[in-house]
Amino acid sequence: MSASMATARAIPAAATSCILSRTPFLRSLGRNTICFSRAKLISPSSRRLFSCRAIYNPQIQIKEEGKPETLDYRVFLVDNSGKRVSPWHDLPLHLGDGIFNFVVEIPKESSAKMEIATDEPFTPIKQDTKKGKLRYYPYNIHWNYGMLPQTWEDPLLANSEVEGAFGDNDPVDVVEIGDTRREIGQILRVKPLAALAMIDEGELDWKIVAISLDDPKAPSLNDVGDVEKHFPGTLSAIRDWFRDYKIPDGKPANRFGLGNKPASKDYALKIITETNESWAKLVKRSIPSGELSLV
């Protein structure tokens, strides 16, 4: 890829958080920093692995390579030295106080099916393909859609609460319901509000419903009931959208477990914790990674 075909855009500082090194070390971020490397616990006082409680704002940039809506198009994240970082493995999940990092893959009111390339080094964002052709949703998605870093839905782990379905081998998906349209690769601080247990061709594909902290309505939303109060009809619309989006292509509708209803914030947090633990086993190579990139 020639330099003329690559562009870089700074992510607004308020929308970014800390980057973890690929080797165990503690970055000096101030007296109150509690950081962990990807595979080694640094601070014995914390109960959770793979997190960073300091809200640190390096000059992370979105670097585009190739032309949008082509097979070569990739969106990388790079740090202020120009080094690539993985949005899946290098961004911390936890920011403390029930706040999490969220990486935008698909901006609201767009239809190109963008996703983390889990099998490519540094896991850039690319447009999904089928039989060599770029994939699009049959209609726009009405929310910002993306993933939680450092999570993984284990395809060998059956969920006894959701029809014994196995994970879909991807990071956990997030539907961010705020009013602002975001950019591909943008990092937001979000708080989970609910969870939908989508079953896609027999695979469990969680949808965490969340709100970005910089949305004006965020202070009023703290659980699943608040979504219906302040965004009436949104939970049903999300469920129906994901249920039906494959029908125009001649495929059956997706199904939902847990009684076809959205689960609470506490349940969403449980799912995030479980999938974070699965990711930890993956990167420590406690379980086979298959074709997934751990770089």
Which residues are annotated as catalytic? 137
CB atoms within 10 A of CB 252: 8
Which residue's entry shows tokens 């705020």?
Answer: 178
In Å, how far from its chain's centre is CA 161? 22
In Å, how far from its chain's centre is CA 207? 10
Q: What distance in Å separates the CA atoms of residue 198 and residue 206, rounded to the nearest whole number?
A: 6
Nearest by Cα to 36 from 281, 280, 275: 280
Dihedral over Cα of 85, 184, 204, 128: its sign: negative
Query: How far from 45 is each of 38, 49, 56, 231, 265, CA to CA, in Å?
Result: 17, 11, 20, 39, 26
Q: What distance in Å separates the CA atoms of residue 139 and residue 112, rounded to the nearest whole number?
A: 9
Q: What distance in Å separates the CA atoms of residue 56 and residue 245, rounded to the nearest whole number?
A: 38
Dihedral over Cα of 202, 206, 209, 214: its sign: negative
Nearest by Cα to 33 from 7, 51, 8: 51
Count of helix runs (H) and strand runs (E) in the chain: 3, 19
Q: What distance in Å separates the CA atoms of residue 125 and residue 242, rounded to the nearest whole number?
A: 21
Strand pairing class (203-212; 173-176): parallel
Name every residue whose Cβ is closer than 8 Å to that of residue 230 and which is 6 or more positions away in sequence.
Answer: 217, 220, 221
